[in-house]
Structures are given as C-alpha cells and as structure tokens.
Amino acid sequence: MSGVSDSCFINKLDHYLQLTEREKLDLLVLEESPQVYEAGTVLYAEDKDEADALYIVQSGRLHASTVLADGGRALLKLHFAGDIVGTSNIPFTTAISTVTVVREARLCRFPRSSLTTLFEVHPRLAALFYSVGMLENVSLTDRLRSIGRTDGLSRIGSLLLEITSRLRVTNKDFGNEVELHMTQADIGDAVGLTHVHVNRMLRELADQGLIERTGSTVTILDEDRLREVAHFTERYHRIETDWFPAAKE
C-alpha cells in the first residue's frame, strides 16, 4: 500500500468512496507523478493555453481568476488540497480562466486523454467524477447568492467560513485559525468589493468580536454568530453514492 497513498486521486476519491484495489491501481497508471509548483506559477492562462489536462491538488493553494473589461480581476474559484483543478475546461480547447498557484503546491497532472480510459473502464469512478463536478456547481451557486444579494459584511464572513469549511474536509482536526493566503485585494476580487471596503469590513468583523486578525491569518472567535451574520449554509461534503455503478473487480 506504500506509494499508493502518494496518488493525489486516491487520497481525494477515497474520501468519498472506498476504492477497490483495481481502481487504485488503474488510477495510479493514469495520473502523472506529483510535481511541486512554487507560489506565483501560472498553471494556465485564459484564452491562451490549451486546456488538455486536469490537476489534482495534493497540497497547497491555487485560485482561478479572469480578467475584467476594466482591467480588474475576479476570483472565480479557490482550490484546496483534494480539489480537481481545470474541470471547467473539459468542454473547451482553450482555458477559460487563469489558474495561479498561491501557495507552493504539489499537483498531479491528469491528461484529458486519461479520462477516456477512466470513463470506459471504471464507470463507478466516472460517476464519482461527475458528482464531484456537480458539487463544484453547487459551491458556485452558493457564491452567486452571497455576492448577488448580501452586503459586504456577509460576503466576507461567507468567504471566511467557506475557506475553513473546505480546509476541514481534508483536515478533520482543523482549528479556527486560518491562514488565508490572500491579500485584501484578493478577497475583494473574490467577493466583489474594493480592497478598501474589504479592509473596513474585516475591521468591523473584528470589532464585533467575531474574528481576530494577525497578519493574514484570521481566527474565528464566534463561529456560530459569524454563520448568522454571513447566512452561511454548510454543505455536506459527502456524496450520494446509491446510484453509482458497481466497482470493477
């Protein structure tokens, strides 16, 4: 079993499903071995690079962004350990967003061509893949609601809670102290506010005793109350697997 746990996918998918030996072995063959990318690296750029691979995040942090008409930038997705990066490029030939490494990351490249085999040989894994993709859609609709219909305080609270929630998926004994790895301008690009107002809202959250800040790490002091303020709805990070095809072998 040693070495197997080095597979990005197995760690990821095993979280949702008990993989069979056959599934694990085949996944190992399909993915490339993990590689380290330093902070600042651009994995691929929108409207420019070919979108011919996915990347599974073993560790580190990345985000997907897009350039706006006014020269600004919007952060579309945050990627954590366990995430599959690049799925939205699947239907396209060219990348539709820019993905940047924010904190040194270990990634396994998974060429799109490997998907062919995956879908052909392992329908159960294909189903899991599909479900994970739909989970991401749900996460996007949650952000749509937050950004479209709530004020700055809620939006930022929401973001903080989303980040901690996502980190807890792969790190059960995660406390309430989060290193954001985002500047206040980044936060603004993520929730649709200027960095000036982000600053004020963070301060406001601190003044209300909901969080505490030291540098770019945030400690959530009163999570329950923060959830109320942010109207945050926790999504169960488990997947309905009843309908999945049987595993091969």
> Rule CB under 7 A: which residues touch DNA?
151-153, 183-185, 188, 192-197, 199-203, 213, 215-216
**Looking only at residues 175 through 194 of this chain, which bind its own copies when binding is defined by CB under 8 A?**
191-192
Residue tagged 């305080």 (tokens): 153
Residue 166 near its own copies by CB under 8 A: no
Q: State in angstroms the smallest separation of the CB of 115 from its own copies.
A: 5
Q: State in angstroms the smallest separation of the CB of 121 from its own copies.
A: 8
Binder among 15, 22, 149, 195 for its own copies (CB under 8 A): 149
Residue (21 or 228) nearer to its own copies, CB: 228
Binding partner at 4 among DNA, its own copies, none, C-beta below 5 to 8 Å by kind: none
Residue 90 near its own copies by CB under 8 A: yes
Q: State in angstroms the smallest separation of the CB of 215 from its own copies.
A: 26
Residue (137 or 183) nearer to DNA, CB: 183
User: How far out from the chain centre does Cα 245 lie?
Assistant: 26
Residues in contact with its own copies by CB under 8 A are 66, 68-69, 72, 74, 76-77, 87-93, 96-97, 112-113, 115-116, 119-120, 123-124, 126-127, 129-138, 140-141, 143-145, 147-150, 191-192, 231, 235-236, 239-240, 243-245
